A and B are shown apart, each in its own frame.
Chain A
Amino acid sequence: MKKNPLYEILNLKFNYNHNFSLEVPELIINKGTCTGFTGPNGSGKSTLLRMLALLLQPEKGSVKINGKNLYGNNNTDLTISMLFQDPYLLKRNVFDNVAYGLKLRKGSRDLKSKVSDALQLVGLEDKKISNKKWFELSGGEARRVALASRLILKPDVLILDEPTVSLDSRSAILIKDAVEYFIKQFNTTLIISSHDTVWLNSLTANILRINNGRITGAGYENIIQGPWYFDDKDLWIKKLDSKQKIFALNPPFETSSAILNPSDIVLSTDYKRGISAQNILNGKITAMTVTKEQKVNVKIDISGISLTSTVTQNAVKTLHLIPGMDIWVIFKTTALKWQ
């Protein structure tokens, strides 16, 4: 990769209410790239993203942008805009919400057509929605209006914190399409945290895992959160809703999170007997995406938990995998690593 660092983070530390600390010894984000963050709730993703958006100051360490340490003088020529997990709309109509950031920049021309374009980008029709007040919008519309108010600024850095969480599938698809189109059109550096790892993986291979305030690794992996209960057979189990169980070996704590590499998950269209793997779970394929490495991420819902398996395109053809299909998910207890 061409070395062109935009962010250089060194020895960053932030304590939150003495219960949680975020520590990032070193992190470099290059210009024009897309960086994804995954991790369980409360792992520190949002805190890190707010620091990258210059909204939160680290207690220790430095965050350099284009070689300049910004905290202290907080001046940059770059436009850095962040969409929060639960975005706030100003108490005015949609047009004024979307146009707000542009109006602040004096001399912005063609406001009307720019607002219209931004709304169109997120799948909203200007004429129908422009005059609607903030409280007349559905959750999905509000999130898309908030995204439009960021995209209209054509930011150099776009930071999205769980942009599709708790949205209906249509709104989520429209947001994803808008983000994908936008980063292709403009040389925007995208930093994104999402639980939708399949989508994240389709946007970038550069995915970092955060857990307990630490970057624990790169690349996408499944995280299975505890609690784990001790079973009679020297194994630990996690009970799922449909009486299915995930078996694991020796978690360090009952509440530990297990990491499962997507390549360690085997998919089968039939129930397999006489195999050594302890975990044979029934699920349904909810999404499939081609990765940057031309493999296929298959997202499977198993009684409320979501696992992703990475398979070859050949396997997809052979097994006739399609979304909505019932599938057996197989992995060994030893495939579960502990964080």
Chain B
Amino acid sequence: MDYIINGFITGIKLLITGDQETYSAIFVTLKASSFSILLSLAIGIPAGFLIGYKDFPGKKQIRAITDTLLALPTVVVGLLVYAFISRKGPLGEFGLLFTIPGIVIAQIILVLPIVISLTATGIEGLDSRLKDTLKTLGAKGRQIAVTSIAEAKYAVFAAAVTAYGRAISEVGVSMMIGGNIKWDTRTITTTITLETGKGEFSMGIALGLVLLIIAFTVNWSLIFLKRRA
């Protein structure tokens, strides 16, 4: 029991003293997850809107695929992306393996179904009178899309929070695509995995606390916004 308490105390010290290795992992995690979430939202929100709003042939099949991809195992994504961006792969020439852009690509594949599926569900759940109301007030095309997304803003925000939670907490993709390179592609989760394997708990606990703080902050902001609404 003592080693857990000691690990906890040392972990806090690492955070307070600004340990470079610890903060490097935090910085890499925030950088990779922020890029992946922003790109996923930029692609996923319009795609989710179209799937939720429009009726077109094959819509049910697309919904079934995106819903299935919600449970996509991170190691499978890691494997596929690895196969594509490794030297032998079709995208090998871009040198993305063991880089942060490589992690970002894999994380986008991982979280995009979450953004698309939850946004589409939010849009589908909007009041059926909204569409005609906007049309009769003179809204067209993009104006209808923007207002509909604004009306479903809490569902869209929940999609973003859920997706972000998945991006910062995944370990498989970061490990396989990033390669866990110290000072370069080592993230919070890969560091925790490595340090735990070595029997070193302090840095793992320090990073675990940071991960929890990020998760709490993001989720509490969602709760706060919902309460304000």
- On whether the two chains bind one another, the answer is yes
**A149 close to chain B: CB less than 8 A:** yes
Given A90-B147, A90-B151, A104-B143, residue A150 in contact with residue B127 (CB < 8 A): no
Q: Is the CB of B151 within 8 A of A50?
A: no
Task: Report whether over half of chain A's contact residues are helix, strand or loop; otherwise say mixed.
Answer: loop
Min CB–CB distance B161 → chain A (angstroms): 19
A residues sitting closer than 8 Å to B (CB atoms) are 50, 53-55, 79-82, 84, 86-88, 90-91, 100-101, 104-105, 149-150, 153
Residue pair A55, B129 in contact (C-beta under 8 Å)? no
Distance to closest chain A CB from B2 (angstroms): 54
Nearest chain A CB to B147's CB is how many angstroms away?
7
Closest A residue, CB atoms, query B143? A104
- B136 engages A55 (CB within 8 Å): yes
Complex contact A104–B136 (CB within 8 A):
no
Q: Which residue of B lies closest to A91 (CB)?
A: B151
> Are B132 and A84 in touch, CB under 8 angstroms?
yes
Is the beta-carbon distance between A81 and B137 smaller than 8 angstroms? Answer: yes
Q: Does B133 lie at the interface of the complex (its beta carbon under 8 Å from any beta carbon of A)?
A: yes
Q: Identify the 3 closest CB pairs spanning chains A and B, nearest first.
A: A88-B129, A101-B137, A88-B133
| Segment 139-161 of B: residues with Cβ below 8 Å from A | 139, 143, 147, 150-151
> Of A79, A84, A104, which one neighbours B133 at CB under 8 angstroms?
A84
Q: Which residues of A contact B136 (CB under 8 A)?
A: 53, 55, 80-82, 150
A101-B138, A104-B138 given as contacts; is B133 within 8 A of A87 (CB)? yes
Q: B151: which A residues are within 8 A, CB to CB?
A: 90-91
B16 at the interface (CB under 8 A from A): no
Q: Given A88-B127, A88-B129, A90-B151 in contact, is the A55-B229 Cβ separation under 8 Å?
A: no
Size of the B side of the interface (Cβ < 8 Å), in residues, is: 15
Chain B contacts for A80, CB-based, 8 A: 136
Main secondary structure of the interface of B (DSSP, over half): helix
The answer to whether the Cβ of B135 comes within 8 Å of any Cβ in the partner chain is: yes
Q: Is the CB of A79 within 8 A of B129?
A: no
Contact A86 B137 (CB under 8 A): no
Point out the residue from B138, B143, B147 that lies within 8 Å of A79, measured CB to CB: B138
Please, how many angstroms separate the alpha-carbon atoms of A50 and B132 in the complex?
A: 9
How far does the alpha carbon of A88 sit from the alpha carbon of B136 in the complex, in Å?
11
A153 touches B132 (CB 8 A): no
Closest to B229 in A: A91
Query: How far does the alpha carbon of A88 sit from the alpha carbon of B135 in the complex, in Å?
Result: 12
Residues of A within 8 A of B132 (CB): 50, 55, 82, 84
Q: Which residue of A lies closest to B136 (CB)?
A: A82
Q: Which residues of the partner chain B approach A100 to less than 8 Å between Cβ atoms?
A: 137, 147
**Could you tell me if B129 and A86 are in contact, using CB atoms closer than 8 angstroms?**
yes
A99 to chain B, nearest CB (A): 10
B130 at the interface (CB under 8 A from A): yes
Q: Contact between B138 and A153 (Cβ–Cβ < 8 Å)?
A: yes
Tell me whether B137 and A150 are in contact (CB under 8 A): yes
- The CA of A289 and the CA of B76, in the complex, are separated in Å by 75
Task: Give the residue of A50, A54, A91, A149 whose beta carbon is less than 8 angstroms from that of B137.
Answer: A149
On chain A, the residues within 8 Å of B133 by CB distance are 84, 87-88, 90
The smallest beta-carbon distance between A35 and chain B, in angstroms, is 18
- Which residues from 9 to 43 on chain B have a C-beta closer than 8 Å to any C-beta of chain A? none
- Residues of chain B within 8 A of A79, CB atoms compared: 138
A300 to B137, CA, bound (A): 37
Which chain B residue lies CB-closest to A82? B136
Inter-chain contact A104/B135, CB cutoff 8 Å: no
| Beta-carbon contact of A105 and B138 below 8 Å | yes
